[in-house]
Structure 1
């Protein structure tokens, strides 16, 4: 599904945090948002998954205005994994994943049971993320990496055409980070009715992870897009110095050939020793 964000501005508590953003994601692309803390990445994504309403502009899915859809229709098209996901009740993993099927249910199942089709989709989602063995575990008993897998399984069980992930690698060790982003890239044709994998919008802090797993990057600074394109083109030392205030040295990954970055600080006047 194609995603078009057009001239989007977002106000929070009277302050404009996102200004005139235009972004396009082709069907099946993994599009990454990168930028310093406070640049507007999460605010933009919250508007995309309808936790916020835009002050101006539109979010369109295959040409349809997302904010004009009713909640159920929107949830059948788009699933989100916010930056902070909390569970206040002690559900089992299977119950958490079953929540992803709620937008597709047309009526109550006799006895409150999950329908056979829903149960199959949820089992497949858990298998896909390597968490089938956790189905009867308490969600609150899981590690951070296990929880993230289960929440991705819930999103996949929703069978979205668009998947929005806000810092999906937060609180994960490096192996878990690589696993989660590989999962995102490997979302296969079985997850959507159209026969193609979902379009993914994700905010990432780690520029090397973004370079290795995203098709297109948008760099956000002070609520505006300042660069966009393939990672190889966007992650230029001059831009990174301007936006992040670091000196970047580009190298190539020895296996994938993706651009990777080594960093050091740019000397500032107050770093110089007193004479």
Structure 2
């Protein structure tokens, strides 16, 4: 499912947080948003998953205005993992994941055997099946994150919006979750097509490896767009992030990777 964000701006308390952003994500692509803290990434994503109504502009899914859809219709198409997500009530992990099936349920809203199976498979796919009967509030930060990702997968969306999905995860879990999302995490059964994914990431190396395209956001505006190799240049990283970057290739995969120094660190002398 294609995402088109057109002329999107957000103003809060007289302050413009996002300025006239336009970007698209083709169906099945993994699109990354990167930028410094406070640059507007989360504000933009909140407009996409309808936690915030933009001051101007539109978000469209396959040409349809997302904000004109009913809540149920939108939730059948799009699932979100906000940066600060959770629950104040001590549901079990299985009950939290089951919330992802609510947009698909009718009448009494009681879970069917099919719903229960979808939720169990979603927990298994994120490596959290053993947490099913644990109280959500008793879980560690990483365990909570995996349960919330399972809830999004159980929703069987065609679009996934993820705000820092690797928060609280160790490095192995980060790689597993991003590979899962990239490989077709939209359905915990056997997904016929990849979901379209729009995600904010802090780790530029993860973004370089896993994203098809990147949009660099600075000061609420898009500073650069393109493939990770085209976007993550030393010049842009110095200008936007204030770091000196060295571009290298992964010795096995050949993927772009970045090494960083402080901008005021003098260059190392060449080896003798």
1 CA distance for matches of 2:39 and 2:66? 24
Runs of 4+ in 1 over 4 A off after TM superposition: 188-194
- TM (normalized to structure 2)? 0.93
Q: Does 1:225 align with 2:222?
A: yes
How far, CA to CA, are the matches of 2:188 and 2:250 in structure 1? 30
Q: Aligned residue for 2:154? A: 157
More displaced stretch, 183-192 vs 254-263: 183-192
Q: Which stretch shows the higher mean deviation, 186-195 or 38-47?
A: 186-195
Does residue 246 of structure 1 match 2:243? yes
Task: Measure, in 2, the Cα distance between the counterparts of 1:192 and 1:129.
Answer: 13
Question: What is the alpha-carbon distance in structure 2 between the residues aligned to residue 50 and residue 223 of structure 1?
Answer: 18
Report deviation, 1:255: 2.2
2:79 aligns with: 79
- Which of these residues, 234, 237, 254, is aligned with residue 237 of structure 1? 234
Q: Does 1:146 align with 2:143?
A: yes
Residue range with higher mean Cα deviation, 174-183 or 87-96: 174-183
Q: What displacement does 1:181 show?
A: 1.7
**What is the Cα deviation at residue 179 of structure 1?**
2.4
Give the TM-score normalised by structure 1: 0.92
CA distance in 2, matches of 1:203, 1:58: 19
- Which deviations, in whole Å up to 9, do the C-alpha atoms of 1:213-272 show, x marking residues without a partner? 11110000110011111101111111111111111100011222111111111229xxxx
Match of 2:116 among 92, 113, 119: 119
Give, in angstroms, the shift of residue 182 of structure 1.
Answer: 2.1
Shift of 1:86: 2.7
Residue by residue, what CA displacement relative to the aligned partner does 1:135-157 show, whole Å, maximum 9, x if unpaired?
A: 11111222222211111110011
Give yes or no for contact 1:40–1:220 (8 Å, CA) kept in 2: yes
Output the CA distance in 1 between the equivalents of 2:15 and 2:39.
Answer: 13
Give the aligned CA root-mean-square deviation in angstroms. 1.7
1:60 corresponding residue in structure 2: 60
Name the SS of the counterpart of 1:10 in structure 2. strand
How far does the alpha carbon of each residue in 1:179-227 deviate from its partner, in whole angstroms, 9 at most, with x for none? 2222222225745998212111100111111101111100001100111
Aligned residue number for residue 51 of structure 1:
51
Stretches of structure 2 lacking an aligned partner (at least 5 in a row): 266-272
Matched length: 265
